[in-house]
Amino acid sequence: MNLKIDRIARDVALRRYVLPECLHVPVAAVNEEAITTYIGNIVQVLSKRTPNKAFLVSTKERQCRDDRLPIWEMKEAAVLHREMQVWVHVAYTRYRNAYQRAFPTEDMAGKVLSHAMNRRIAVLKGFQYVRITPVSAGANVSSAFSENWGVALHGAPGQTPEKARHGSSIQYADLADLMLMMDLKLGGGVMEVVNKGQALVEPVPR
C-alpha cells in the first residue's frame, strides 16, 4: 500500500492540535480520491442502492506508536488505527446498514454510529466523506457543545471551505475527535475536553 502524506493536514495536527504522528487519525476526506491517496484502499462498496456513498477501507498499519503516552494503555484506543474502517458520504443516511454490512458479527447493542467529524462541519469544510465509529449514546450527545462551537467557527461570514480546511485533502482528528471515537464523554465545554484529554497524550517517563 503506497500511501502519500497530506503535509498540510499533518502540519495542522502537529502545530494546531499538538498531537504526535502516532495519533494522526484521519477522520475526513474531500473525495474518494483523497481516501485512496492518503488513507487506504477501498476494498468494498457498502452502499447498495446508491453507489459510492459508503466504503470499507483497508488502512496501513502504523509502526510509530509512542508507548509513553497513557492513551495507548486504554483498550478503547484500539479503534483509532483500526485496520478496517467504514467511511460514508456526509449525505448518506443508511450508514448503520452499511456498518453492519462491513462488520456483521460486531455487537452493536447500546451503540450508535458517530461521524468522527460532525457532518455540518464537514460540509462547511468541503469534506464529502467522514469515518464512522460505534459509541454510546451518552458519548455521542456529550459532543454537541464542541460540535456547535465548530459550526459557529467555520460558518462565520467570509469563511470558505478551502480556507476552513487550510487547503488540505484530508483532516486528522483533534483531541475531542479522538476522545469521542474512544467512547469517552466530552463534558460541557472546550476547556474541559482539553483538560481531560491532554493527560492522555502527554508522554510519561518509563
Backbone φ and ψ for 139, nearest 5 degrees, come out as -65, -40
pLDDT of residue 205: 80
Query: Using CB atoms within 10 A of its CB, is residue 105 exposed (0-12), middle (13-18) or buried (19+)?
Result: exposed
Residue 147 and residue 196: Cα distance in Å, rounded? Answer: 17
The whole-angstrom separation of Cα 67 and Cα 73 is 8
Residue 18 confidence (pLDDT) above 80: yes
139-145-150 Cα angle (round to 5):
115
pLDDT above 70 for 46? yes
Q: How far is CA 59 from CA 1, 4, 74, in A?
A: 8, 12, 21
Model pLDDT, residue 149:
46
Q: Distance of CA 131 to CAs 29, 148, 182, Å?
A: 9, 19, 13
What is the reported pLDDT for 35? 98
Average pLDDT of 1-10? 93
Average pLDDT, the chain: 88
Mean pLDDT on 13-29: 96
pLDDT digit string (tens) for 76-103? 999 999 999 999 999 999 999 999 999 9
Task: Tell me the pLDDT tens digit for each residue of 111-144.
Answer: 999 999 999 999 999 999 999 999 998 887 755 5
pTM for this entry: 0.89
Dihedral, CA atoms, 127, 129, 135, 137, nearest 10 degrees? 70
pLDDT in tens, 136-186: 988 877 555 455 545 555 555 566 778 878 899 999 999 989 999 999 876
**DSSP output for the chain:** ------HHHHHIIIIIS---GGG--EEEESSHHHHHHHTEEEEEE--SSSTTSEEEEEEPPP----TTSGGGGSGGGGGTT-SEEEEEETT---HHHHHHHH-TTS--TTEEEEESS-HHHHHHHT--EEEEEEEEHHHHHHTHHHHHHHHHHHTSTT--HHHHTTT-SEEE--HHHHHHHTT----SSHHHHHHHHHHHHS----
What is the pLDDT at residue 142?
A: 57
Q: What is the pLDDT of residue 51?
A: 85
Residue 56 in this model has a pLDDT that exceeds 80: yes
Helical axes 144-154 vs 190-201, angle rounded to 10°:
110
Supply the pLDDT for residue 73.
95
